[in-house]
Chain A
Amino acid sequence: AQKVTQAQTEISVVEKEDVTLDCVYETRDTTYYLFWYKQPPSGELVFLIRRNSFDEQNEISGRYSWNFQKSTSSFNFTITASQVVDSAVYFCALSEARVGWGGTSYGKLTFGQGTILTVHP
């Protein structure tokens, strides 16, 4: 079963439009973390936000805002007044603590398939 689902494969908007990227996740853990990463055309992965499973407060950072709803297992990302520079692939990711070698834990990061956002001038 897909643990992180980004149902929108591609979204195309005109500059200044608002756009929401959807993310639905699945986990049995009570403690987990959710992330959004941006991958611009240059290819690197840029961290945008981290949210833990106990904090359902929405967050706003400039034109970016995130809506975390545990009841629907969703962590959606909205860009207000989009700009051409927002064009990128956006990945939602779920991090769950797992025990590896020798009993040490690590963050198992599961990515969604990504949403390609194109903002036209």
Chain B
Amino acid sequence: NAGVTQTPKFRILKIGQSMTLQCTQDMNHNYMYWYRQDPGMGLKLIYYSVGAGITDKGEVPNGYNVSRSTTEDFPLRLELAAPSQTSVYFCASSPQALLATYEQYFGPGTRLTVT
């Protein structure tokens, strides 16, 4: 069982370039999340999705976009990359979050550097 997979593992972007971080889960989870982790910090929520076709903003959504056309996939799009987006990005999924009960399962992360 692969769980949550993310590609690529590493990426270097130039300022102003765009890219899409891929995330796929095979656990049939309704909920999916994108976080960023800056050095020495905990994770901050960028966007989340409660099911196919439904997404919403988290704490730090500026500069990012998401879509959820299938249950399995939740790509994160960076438009016009900026140095402030240098971070490690984690995708996570969880079963339907009744009263926030379920733990989130995390992918291995994508380390992005914008120069």
Expressed in whole angstroms, the Cα–Cα distance for A98 and B99 within the complex equals 8
Question: Residues of A within 8 Å of B, CB-based: how many?
Answer: 33
Specify which chain A residues have a CB less than 8 angstroms from the CB of B51 in the assembled complex.
104
CB-CB under 8 A for A43 and B88, given A100-B50, A104-B50, A113-B41: yes
**B contact residues, range:** 20 to 34
Main secondary structure of the interface of B (DSSP, over half): strand
B52 at the interface (CB under 8 A from A): no
30 cross-chain CB contacts under 8 A? A31-B100, A35-B103, A42-B108, A44-B108, A44-B109, A45-B92, A45-B109, A47-B103, A47-B104, A50-B103, A91-B42, A93-B42, A100-B48, A101-B54, A102-B50, A105-B98, A106-B31, A106-B48, A107-B31, A107-B94, A107-B97, A107-B100, A107-B101, A107-B102, A108-B100, A109-B33, A109-B45, A109-B104, A110-B42, A111-B42
Q: Give me 8 other A-B pairs in contact (C-beta within 8 A), A104-B51, A107-B101 excluded.
A: A37-B106, A43-B109, A44-B109, A100-B50, A101-B56, A106-B56, A106-B100, A111-B43
> Interface on A for B, CB 8 Å cutoff?
4, 31-33, 35, 37, 42-45, 47, 50, 52, 91, 93, 95-98, 100-102, 104-114
